[in-house]
Amino acid sequence: MTMALPAYNFAYLDEQTKRMIRRAILKAVAIPGYQVPFASREMPMPYGWGTGGVQVTAAILGPDDVLKVIDQGSDDTTNAVSIRAFFARVANVAVTTKTAEATIIQTRHRIPEVPLTEGQTLVYQVPIPEPLRFLEPRETETRIMHALEEYGLMHVKLYEDIAQHGHIATTYAYPVKVEGRYVMDPSPIPKFDNPKMDDCPALQLFGAGREQRIYAIPPYTRVESLDFEDHPFAVQTFSQPCGLCGATGVYLDEIVTDDRGGRLYACSDTDHCEERRDAGHVGSEAFTGARP
């Protein structure tokens, strides 16, 4: 049995598909926070592993772009490595781990600590794009709710949190309102990252492959986390600095170091942490947490 070996287009997707995705992106940019249905393709990685983000990246990637891929804030987690290697292979683009050098950053679950700049594009991988999904499972219903701007259910949910716990018990994928109109799921980033979305100079694109939706936040768009006047939105704070680089005001990972309750808190954004350490910043655990 013999067969012609398949040949792939630049950035894997054929040009028709890219055009279809670009049309969806343009519509998404024109209606900030609105979920645009698109004919998501099967990708050579599984659904739920970033197929939406990969399709968006593939559609906007040009030969001169510099790509950075992070997962959990890190360039070196297995799925980030896999996606970066995919684009290095099918698009032969320059890749980087440095946030400032990248023109396109594909991310899962974090926004980099270094503020993004004009001309950069942040591409989010989104598992469930519908912020109302767990309040109303039916797509036919949630689309109507968005159309009528009927977000009472969401506020009731947040209110019930306060009534029950004294505070809003949502810590990630914390819903936002975009430009005063659409309630939007920011993807499962910690709410710590929510304020970075507001008035951001970079273009933010969201791709949900399995759910066939693309949405966007154009540069300098108002993004507010939902809250109440007497219970204003607040981000997570950490009581100690990064154990490796001493940074404060950043999101930290808790790393179990032994079976006696030992913990190391270190920057989730590994590029940020490394740059700080290269610049001479040292945390209290920098030498016990030996790096390979």
Q: Tell me the closest approach of the beta carbon of residue 237 to other proteins, in angstroms.
A: 6
255 near other proteins, rule: CB under 8 A? yes
> Does 200 participate in catalysis according to the annotation?
no
Catalytic residue, chosen from 73, 243, 273, 283, is 273
290 near other proteins, rule: CB under 8 A? yes
> How many residues lie near other proteins (CB under 8 A)?
76
Catalytic residue, chosen from 52, 207, 246, 267, is 267
Binding residue (CB under 8 A) for other proteins from 149, 254, 282, 287: 254
For other proteins, the closer CB: 230 or 258: 258
The 3-state secondary structure of 172-196, one letter per residue: ECCCEEECCCEEECCCCCEHHHHHH
Q: Tell me the closest approach of the beta carbon of residue 144 to other proteins, in angstroms.
A: 12
Give the integer Cα–Cα distance in Å for 65 and 255.
34
236 near other proteins, rule: CB under 8 A? yes
For other proteins, the closer CB: 43 or 184: 43
Give the integer Cα–Cα distance in Å for 101 and 103.
7
> Does 246 participate in catalysis according to the annotation?
no
Residues 28 to 47 in contact with other proteins, rule: CB under 8 A: 37-44, 46-47
For other proteins, the closer CB: 80 or 203: 80
282 near other proteins, rule: CB under 8 A? no
Residues 166 to 185 in contact with other proteins, rule: CB under 8 A: 166-167, 169, 171-173
Binding residue (CB under 8 A) for other proteins from 80, 184, 200, 223: 80
284 near other proteins, rule: CB under 8 A? no
Binding residue (CB under 8 A) for other proteins from 76, 101, 118, 160: 76
- Other residues' Cβ atoms within 10 Å of the Cβ of residue 28: 24
73 near other proteins, rule: CB under 8 A? yes
Candidate segments 93-101, 116-124, 197-205, 233-241, binder of other proteins by CB under 8 A: 233-241
> Does 273 participate in catalysis according to the annotation?
yes
User: For the residues of the chain, what is the DSSP string, one character each?
Assistant: ---PPP--BTTBS-HHHHHHHHHHHHHHHHSTT--EE--PPP-SS-TTSSHHHHHHHHHH--TT-EEEEEETTBSSSHHHHHHHHHHHHHT--EE-S-GGG-SEEEEES---SSPP-TT-EEEEE-S---TTTTT---HHHHHHHHHTT--HHHHHHHHHHHHHHSS----BS--EEETTTEEE---S-BGGGHHHHTT-SSEEEEEETTTTEEEEE-TT--EEE--BTTB-------SS--TTT---SS-EEEEE-SSSS-EEEEES-HHHHHHHHHTT---TTTTTS---
Residues 101 to 140 in contact with other proteins, rule: CB under 8 A: 108-110, 127, 137-140
Give the integer Cα–Cα distance in Å for 114 and 13.
31
> Does 267 participate in catalysis according to the annotation?
yes
249 near other proteins, rule: CB under 8 A? no
Catalytic residue, chosen from 242, 243, 246, 283, is 242
Mind telling me the catalytic residues? Answer: 33, 242, 245, 267, 273
